[in-house]
Amino acid sequence: MAFDVRLATAADRDEIAALIAEMIPGADVAARMRWLYDGNPGGPALTWIASEGGEVAGCTSYFPFRLQLDGDGWRVDAQLRGAWLPLYGFDLQRQLPVDFEPPNHYMATHPQSRFVQNLVCARAPAGRRLALLNREFRVHPIGGPQERRLLETPAQLREVLEREFLIRLPGTATLGRRLGELPWPGP
């Protein structure tokens, strides 16, 4: 199986919109397309178009990535600090809502889910990516070294959530208490 891969152009927008409508029934496709290409704070989305080879390398707005044939499927890797790290794999089988709705529901609601047990935030402003896992705040600048900071107090957590992730938080004592109960990173 061989694919030629190229960046999507404005001529491909109708096909991309149709794919969004098919994969996310009921979605406001026009609003999603405007955000992807016109209102995205990280800049216009770079979208790859694959059509009927082995390895393809490209670059998102933030990190270089590559698409590699991996057995019977494909693997997407990102280059971070000079090393290629696997992000996810997929195959070309048609995906139906039953393939992703139950896992998404589990990840968002099950008591043992990482997303229920932890405070997890990510944002990609121009020139960097931000990540927060409980009290550990990381900044990944394009082409620069990763910065890591432990947030020791609820006030520090609140400041990062509001300033870096642009989340408006209520001024309640319950929130302050919950932020203070967040776990510390492991060794």
Q: Which residues of the chain are in CATH 3.30.1120.150 domains?
A: 118-180
Give 24-33 contacts, CB < 8 A, sequence gap 24+: 25/97
Q: What pLDDT digit, counting tens, does each position of 15-44 carry?
A: 777 766 766 667 787 877 776 666 655 555
- As a whole number, the mean pLDDT across the chain is 79
Helix (H, G, I), strand (E, B) or coil at 20: helix
Please state whether the predicted TM-score (pTM) of the whole model is above 0.75: no
Q: What whole-number percentage of the chain has pLDDT above 90?
A: 29
Q: What is the pLDDT of residue 54?
A: 47
Band of pLDDT at residue 94, cut at 50, 70 and 90: confident
- Give Cα 32 to chain centroid, integer Å: 15
* Level-2 CATH architecture, domain 118-180: 2-Layer Sandwich (3.30)
Q: What pLDDT digit, counting tens, does each position of 126-179 carry?
A: 778 899 999 999 998 877 788 999 999 999 999 999 999 999 999 888 999 999
The tokens 């997407």 sit on which residue?
A: 76
CB neighbours of 3 closer than 8 A, spacing ≥ 6? 50, 51, 52, 53, 56
Beta partners for residue 64, in sequence order? 59
Band of pLDDT at residue 52, cut at 50, 70 and 90: very low
Beta partners for residue 57, in sequence order? 66
Query: Would you say how long the chain is, in residues?
Result: 187
DSSP code, position 39: I
Q: What is the pLDDT of residue 49?
A: 52
